[in-house]
Amino acid sequence: MDLHSGLPYWIIRNSLWDYFHPLEKDLSTDVVIVGSGITGALMTHELCRAGIKCCIVDKRSIATGSSAASTALLQYEIDVPLCRMGKIIGEENAATAYHACLQSISDIKRVLEETGVNAGFEQLPSLFYASSAADNKLLEQEYEIRQKHKLPVSLLEKKKIREEYKVKTPGNALINEASAQMDVYRAATGLLAYHIKESGLKVFTHTSIKECTETSDGCIMTTDRGHKIKCGYVIIATGFEAGQFLPQKIMDLTSTYALISHPVASEHLWPTHCLIWETADPYLYIRTTDKNRIIVGGEDEKFSDPQRRDSLLRKKTRILEKKVRKLLPDLPFETEMVWCGTFSTTKDGLPFIGNWPDKERMFFNLGYGGNGITFSMIGAQIICRQLQGMKDERSGIFGYERIEKYW
């Protein structure tokens, strides 16, 4: 299945890493990671740092799946507001999930610094505005519960937002000062290049896994060329495509759309540099790049097939452009590139991380919603610790025990 269409900005900006290295013989290793996007790259980093021998297998070129289509906003906020998530999984569990996402932003920064990978990581605030005056009540509830659980947040009135940010919002907004943005393609490729050089990592591209059988002492995988991979453990890090390895459906698929503008003169940008998103479902989200381009995403809808998703690209682009011009009326906005992608969501807004029940040798990291990068970091840490026989207090919140409750 095609994960995206159009020309994602990150591949054009950085040039495709022309790495062609399919598996051409049988292989034996400790751990196989399936997927070379940001999930696989962060997973690789954690395993290599722990001294666990691993390799990566991907049916495409490196990081050209969902990661290439990401808009790469890093926020501790999850698609489901904390005040609503608390009613689904319990307030303390929801607060723990939010704090885990907050910590993951710092952890991603640390990983990039210790490997010397320049992924354009930039810390900046996030503005979460009410899409209508009626949503001001939701923001008030969200503000109170975040304050209660000591999450960084402040509440701004509509007039103040217009004065400070030049953003014409329908209602009030929450500000958090602990967000970030980056180039996710450069992060994934940079981390893998680092470990190819420093850790002897083997990455096998253009190699599909057709079968994976769990045995008493590991797993045996069969590739599209008929080669066998014998390993102790398998980690599935293929985003929404992980469904092919699961015995039942636990994810819903969503199409999403993005565009990027021509470079804009600094004086035309909102003066307080920040990420922007809203309470509506689906929500609009906006960021800038280091070249003063503006990335806009949203108009999500239920995924049916790549052809329908792609056929809507022009229509969705017009809608997104109209929304941006209404929100930022002083901005000279002209679209240069557009693309669309697909991601997976779960009923409670949290990913599934760890072993599938009765599959002790297979680990999964999937169902991110709009928080793929932060959840990838959390998943890499949890699974790495599980492989070392260590406990992680977060594993229960993101575990598969939730299936019986919500599915």
Residue ranges of alpha helices (H) inside 116-157 are: 136-148
Pick the residue with more confidence: 306 or 70? 70
Choose among 192, 94, 87: nearest CA to 146: 94
Give residue 1's pLDDT band: very low, low, confident or very high (50, 70, 90).
Answer: very low
Most confident range, picked from 176-190, 247-261, 296-310: 176-190
Nearest-angstrom CA–CA distance, 105 and 388: 24
Mean pLDDT in residue range 237-242: 86
Q: What is the pLDDT of residues 10-34, one digit of tens each?
A: 888 998 898 999 999 999 999 999 9
Residue with tokens 């990335």: 295
Nearest-angstrom CA–CA distance, 279 and 18: 40
Average pLDDT, the chain: 93
Nearest-angstrom CA–CA distance, 346 and 13: 32
Question: Domains of the chain by range and CATH?
Answer: 4-70+185-251+349-406 (3.50.50.60)
Nearest-angstrom CA–CA distance, 218 and 358: 13
What is the distance of C-alpha 390 from the center of its chain? 25
User: Going by C-beta distance under 8 Å and a sequence separation of 6 or more, which residues neighbour residue 394?
Assistant: 96, 97, 100, 378, 382
List for the chain the helix, strand, coil content (%; round to 5): 35, 30, 35
Residues 353, 359, 365, CA angle at the centre, nearest 5°?
20
Nearest-angstrom CA–CA distance, 16 and 10: 9
Q: Is the peptide bond before 329 cis (omega within 30 degrees of 0)?
A: no
Nearest-angstrom CA–CA distance, 181 and 123: 7
User: Going by C-beta distance under 8 Å and a sequence separation of 6 or more, which residues neighbour residue 246?
Assistant: 356, 364
> How far are the Cα atoms of 22, 335, 369, 380, 396 from residue 235, in angstroms, in the given order?
19, 38, 19, 10, 18
Q: What is the largest CA-CA distance in the chain?
A: 65
Quick check: 51 pLDDT over 80? Answer: yes
Nearest-angstrom CA–CA distance, 88 and 95: 12
Burial class (CB in 10 A: 0-12, 13-18, 19+), 288: buried
Q: What is the pLDDT of residue 406?
A: 59
Q: What is the pLDDT of residues 371-400, one digit of tens each?
A: 999 999 999 999 999 999 999 999 999 998
Nearest-angstrom CA–CA distance, 290 and 288: 7
Give residue 117's pLDDT band: very low, low, confident or very high (50, 70, 90).
Answer: very high
Q: Which amino acid is at 308?
A: R
Nearest-angstrom CA–CA distance, 376 and 65: 15
Mean pLDDT in residue range 215-235: 96
How does DSSP classify residue 3? -
Q: What is the pLDDT of residues 71-107, one digit of tens each?
A: 999 999 999 999 999 999 999 999 999 999 999 999 9
Structure tokens at 154: 């402040």
